[in-house]
Structure 1
């Protein structure tokens, strides 16, 4: 937690605790129904990508913790502490948020065949959109978080992690 938590510090589903994935149940049901009735592959693809991101992240987290516990090739000659593990246990909240945004954009803004992920032109368009505006905005947003006002309210806990892991970068 930040040294002086600001407005919207917690995710809306924080009170659900371990049951935070219940937020996605309506999306899963809708994507399965859309696939079963109209063969809409894109909604179910959003759900599949979410599962892939969670599994992919967990593999890298486990691998990095194994390497840290083994003690070879550490960046910092220190083992990971339990308070850092507890502080970074909400690493998947960003994946839930991105899934909600991607699903809502897919359903309400883009339509059904504007951005075909399974074709090369759709994949190139998504890559260009990510490499261009998304990375640019992320860089300047992260710079802004280092301003004293935002740093003490939102970003200080990110820099309190001494032993870096793959999830340390996603923890605001």
Structure 2
């Protein structure tokens, strides 16, 4: 847990609890409507990728917990504690956030229609954007989070998991401090 939670330590949809996916319902409705009326597949693909990411992550989480429970290939000779499972239950908030950002960019940013997701040139453009500026910013942002001021307010929560799982690195970077 963060020893001194900072400003904006919760996602805006934290009060919704288990109903946090209601945040993306307008996007789903809009993507279905835009596909039905204009054959715009981009928005529908963004929602499909979100669902795919959630299913993919859940499969790996289940597999990792099975391997940990079986106990033959543990990195640390401990089992996952309930506190860690509770802390990491918000792993999908990042998926919701990324979906909202990508969707709003696709709808409202001029020139974003030049990146078609279904063609190879669009995939290459997105991969280069991710490998270039996004990874660069991510690296330096993560380094900054290890400064004492930011670490104690935001990032220490990320390092509190002893038994690593696939979601340990992604469930929290800045926000969503576990409140029991």
Match of 1:86 in 2: 86
Secondary structure class of the residue paired with 2:109? helix
Q: TM-score, normalised by structure 1?
A: 0.98
Match of 1:43 in 2: 43
Match of 1:153 in 2: 153
Equivalent residue pairs, number: 172
Query: For residues 113 and 90 of structure 1, what CA distance do their matches in structure 2 show?
Result: 32
Query: For residues 110 and 150 of structure 1, what CA distance do their matches in structure 2 show?
Result: 34
Unaligned runs of 5+ in 1: none
1:129-168, CA deviations, whole angstroms, 9 ceiling, x for partnerless residues? 1111111111111100000000000000111100000100
Map 1:20-169 onto structure 2 (within 5 A): 20-110=20-110, 113-169=113-169
Cα deviation, residue 113, structure 1: 3.1
Q: TM-score, normalised by structure 2?
A: 0.93
Query: For residues 106 and 36 of structure 2, what CA distance do their matches in structure 1 show?
Result: 18
Unaligned runs of 5+ in 2: 174-180
- CA-atom RMSD in angstroms: 0.9
Tell me if 1:2 matches 2:10: no
Query: For residues 117 and 30 of structure 1, what CA distance do their matches in structure 2 show?
Result: 18
Query: For residues 55 and 63 of structure 2, what CA distance do their matches in structure 1 show?
Result: 12
